Structure 1
Amino acid sequence: MSEAATREADTEARDLLEDVVRIPSVSRNEGEAAQRLADFFEAHDREVWLDEVGNVRAPADDGVLLTSHVDTVPGDIPVRVEETDDGAVLWGRGSVDAKGPLCAMAVAAVRTGASFVGVVGEEVDSTGGRHLVADRDSEPDAVINGEPSGWEGITLGYRGLLGGTYVATSESGHSSRPENNAIQDAMDWWTAVDDEFAHDEWHPVFERVTCKPVDFRGGISEDGLSVEATMDVQLRVPPEYTTDEIREIADGYLDNGTVNWNDKVEPVMQSPRTSVARAFRAAIRDHGGEPHLLRKTGTSDMNVYAKAWDCPMATYGPGDSDLDHAPNEHIELAEYDRSVSVLEDVTDRLL
């Protein structure tokens, strides 16, 4: 049995996590899970409410804001606790992304007196995070965002996101004609953009612009007079660029067609020397771990907070991020317990 599994279980924290994992909370349907979190804060005599977009708001000492997201992606994974040689494991959608980090932060918040927000909509458009920054009168002194990093990991960087929809139309004609139709125009534009940002396999993914088409619709129009093409695209943006710079480069390859760029999230890279990063390194070592710094190739609500607030921040939480959105999503409860202890320690240091 591992050292982590021999530690005394944090029953209160585990009960909260299992309850929240058992409540489905796919994006746009977070209400019941959010209410369970609110009930937890009320039981600890904390002020708490659900705001107009559904965020769980439990303000207190703004020396630290602990925040993570309530929503999950779809997927029915039967919820169960399984005993293994290394200790108990909780299976279920959201156990890693991000109900493990979410509940660990809720427990740490009631034990330390820190502010807490459980936000909605992170998996789709960061509705809750965007509302939070717009609704607050002032920024917190520090932010700890909840996403899985493993209990010894500290995430300091995320790539940004530029998303848009390409639309082109051409006159219909016989397929033997040599001129491009709208479908070919779309393919040519996307190939040029993809080639512009191509890197060899040795270039770190975090430092690349990666290009992905995520939907394509095309063919003869209903009236038969034109060929139409619509393509939804996403470009992940490393910190060396802004989304506006990437948009300008991509637009430069347009020959026919237009792009409506409708989703922009700036990249973020925090210094490892901030008060938050230092507190995490010290706390993880004090709990017997070896801290390591992470850069994630996706995006999170930390991108939103870093754009709006000029304060130190990091992302942290239990769980293996390789299990995000996976059909075998599960979390080791001993690791979850240890992350709660680390969060309490870090929050106490910062407060």
Structure 2
Amino acid sequence: MSASMSEPADVSLDEARQLLTDLVSIPSPTGEERKAAERLVAFFELHDREAWIDEVGNVRAPADDSVLLTSHVDTVPGEIPVEVQTADEDDVDAEVADETGEDVLWGRGSVDATGPLAAMAVAAVRTGVSFVGVVGEETNSRGARHLVADREEPDAVINGEPSGATGITLGYRGFLAGTYVATSESGHTSRPEPNAIQHATEWWTSVEDAFENDEYQAVFERVTAKPVDMDGGISDDGLSVEATLDVQLRIPPSLDAESVRETAEAELEIGTVSWAEPIPPVMESPRTEVARAFRVAIRNEGGDPRLLRKTGTSDMNLYAGTWDCPMVTYGPGNSELDHAPDERLSLSEYDQSVKVLERVATTLSGGEE
């Protein structure tokens, strides 16, 4: 059942908040997670927990595998001055004070997903359950991909992303990324024949039309198609026009990556498109033992549970695609502040989420509540 057993240990409120502040204060954009990972290892070792950084950079702290708490260490780039703004400060932002009435931590990653990461680390130490901090979630999820290939399946998974202290995320759309490439002969721009840049834009317009949705259909149930980068122009030798178009498609649980890819390729007449490894959609049942444990824990902490479906994609998609165990995603923070220039987290919400996670982990590991 467990990779190794660890005794629960006490973590004070001040120490829990300090861990959060320290991690937010350490820049950890994708590819630069090492220092934040070392801070996490030090936290576990301080509480007599075995922890190490594996070959891809993940923080591993195995223990009772009744539940695995896991979130990502990396953040998107962007510097936001790290500060704790107290509710009773004279210059406190009125909008923030109205929103929380509590102390607020500002900084990149405070919401996505260093807040959930720190909350899970604290809850893991307090309850003696397994923990992993993964790397690379904001780009190619290399940490999660390595984890599912390298680790045995736990009994349950709680993935860390902002849902708010009362939100339980059960579903995410899948993800498919592709790169279109076309080349055409160069010629005078007065000629009517389309060049490679036009071929690229015509293909993508056709793809968007193929996935046209009913405006009354929920976004979660749609395929959304987005171009994310384009490069084109005369080649270095001046003999051709070249075009490269990077695209992303989000996949609802009613479809799979193969069918979405086939639809996009059916619109392809000129040029080629190569696809990255897809991430499948996921939709978990609200009736699993994990979801039930969260509803009870949130109510016991004075909250009203909310079941959520997210239009984006997370590492939970990969876990669900490989491991056949119940799972949800949970964590403090307003997801509307993901990647935002005003990213911030209510510290009282962080405290509440730690207590919820502690209750859930205790329930799933067979402890008393």
TM range (shorter): over 0.9
Structure-1 residue corresponding to 2:111: 96
Contact 1:152/1:290 (CA < 8 Å) preserved in 2? yes
Unaligned runs of 5+ in 2: 1-11, 89-100
The correspondence for 2:299, drawn from 285, 298, 322, is 285
Deviations 1:313-341 (A, max 9, x none): 00000000000000000000001000000
- Whole-Å Cα distance in 1 between the matches of residues 271 and 265 of structure 2? 10
**Deviation by residue 1:64-113 (Cα, 9 ceiling, x = unmatched):** 00000110001111100011151211011001100110000000000111
Give the C-alpha shift of residue 174 in structure 1.
1.9
Q: Are 2:203 and 1:189 equivalent residues in the alignment? A: yes
- Counterpart CA distance in 2 for 1:200 and 1:64 is 40
In the alignment, which residue of structure 2 is the partner of 1:3?
none
- Cα distance in 1 for partners of 2:310, 2:102 equals 28
Conservation of the 8 A alpha-carbon contact between 1:158 and 1:296: yes
1:121 aligns with 2:136: yes
Q: What is the aligned partner in structure 1 of residue 94 from structure 2?
A: none
Query: 1:107 touches 1:340 (CA, 8 Å); kept in 2?
Result: yes
Q: Supply the distance in 1 between the matched residues of 2:46 and 2:74 (Cα, whole angstroms).
A: 23
Gaps of 5+ in 1: 1-8
Match of 2:283 in 1: 269
Q: Distance in 2 between matches of 1:116 and 1:68?
A: 9
Q: Does 1:41 align with 2:44?
A: yes
How is 1:145-224 mapped onto 2 (pairs within 5 angstroms)?
145-224=159-238
Say whether 1:340 aligns with 2:343: no
Answer with 24-33 or 167-176: which moved more: 167-176
TM-score normalised per structure 2: 0.91
Which of 312, 315, 319 is the matching residue for 1:298?
312
3-state secondary structure, aligned to 1:185:
helix
How many residues are treated as equivalent by the alignment? Answer: 342
Give RMSD over aligned pairs. Answer: 1.0
The residue matched to 1:264 in structure 2 has which SS?
Answer: coil
SS in 1 for 2:260: helix
Alignment partner for residue 308 of structure 1, among 317, 322, 326?
A: 322
Structure 1 Cα separation of the partners of residues 198 and 106 of structure 2: 46
Give me the TM-score of the superposition, normalised by structure 1: 0.96
Amino acid at match of 1:179: E
Distance across 1 between alignment mates of 2:270 and 2:139:
30
* Separation in 2, partners of 1:106, 1:235: 33
Greater Cα offset, 194-203 or 62-71? 194-203
Match of 2:147 in 1: 132
Is 1:105 the equivalent of 2:120?
A: yes
Q: Retained in 2: the 8 A contact 1:154–1:294?
A: yes
Give CA-to-partner distance per residue, 1:1-28, whole Å, 9 cap, x none: xxxxxxxx92121011011111111110
Counterpart of 2:104, as a letter, is V
| CA offset digits 1:167-220 (Å, max 9, x no partner) | 011111222222221111111110010011112432211111001111111111
Residue equivalent to 1:232? 246
Question: AA paired with 2:346?
Answer: E
| 1:142–1:312 CA contact under 8 A, matched in 2 | yes
Which residue is equivalent to 2:333?
319
Cα displacement string for residues 225-246 of structure 1 (whole angstroms, at most 9, x for unaligned residues): 1111110000011111111110
